Amino acid sequence: CVCVTVSHSQITRLYSRFHSLDKGENGALSREDFQRIPELAINPLGDRIINAFFPEGEDQVNFRGFMRTLAHFRPVEDNEKNKVLTPGEPLNSRTNKLLFAFRLYDLDRDDKISRDELLQVLRMMVGVNISDEQLGSIADRTIQEADTNGDMCISFNEFTKVLEKVDVEQKMSIRFLH
């Protein structure tokens, strides 16, 4: 089956990629390994995304963990037979994709995006041309728009809700990770 071969070759490819990133050659990637990727330095959310690769409190990620994170971005397919490492709910489900994004905002892991957290991310994503006030008003409005229970935070549920019309499956998928 084409799927399997694709998937297999992808794993092989990613594995070699993993190794090429692994300058320490200890079978695990550290943050610095990621930070060495040039494009990430100019990615506004680069470091946040790097952090997403590391389980809480750990400084290393092995190939398995590496793939686990990447698996979030597999496209959702009808034929899920070529699952690589997805016990339970597949990592590439809509919920998990959203959760991945949500965690980028949610620094303190309290399952809520506070205004500050949102502001931080916004500041990362906008240029210096937007003043803090403007950004603040944007953040306020964003929260206001999403917040349904009035706690001035965006919970994951609210996050999901507010993005329910967005084609997350498509926009959070990468084709090469079949």
Residues in 79-138 at the binding interface with another protein, rule: CB under 8 A: 100-101, 104-105, 121-122, 124-130, 134, 137-138
Helical segments of the chain, H only? 2-21, 31-35, 38-41, 46-52, 63-71, 94-105, 115-125, 132-146, 156-162, 168-171
Contact yes or no for 125/45 (Cβ under 8 A): yes
Q: Shortest gap between Cβ of 159 and another protein (angstroms)?
A: 8
> Smallest gap, in angstroms, from Cβ of residue 110 to another protein?
19
Given candidates 7, 34, 91, 106, which one binds another protein under the rule CB under 8 A?
A: 34
* 47 is a site residue for another protein (CB under 8 A): yes
Taking the complex as a whole, how short is the minimal distance between the CB of residue 89 and another protein, in angstroms?
20
**CB of 64 closer than 8 Å to CB of 85:** yes
Considering only 53, 54, 63, 156, the residue that binds another protein (CB under 8 A) is: 53
Q: How many residues bind another protein (CB under 8 A)?
A: 71
Cβ closest to another protein, residue 60 vs residue 83: 60
Q: What tokens appear for 24 in the block?
A: 């320490």
Q: DSSP labels for 113-156?
A: E-HHHHHHHHHHHS-TTS-HHHHHHHHHHHHHHH-SSSSSSEEH
35 binds another protein (CB under 8 A): yes
Kindly state the smallest distance separating residue 67's Cβ from another protein, in Å. Answer: 10
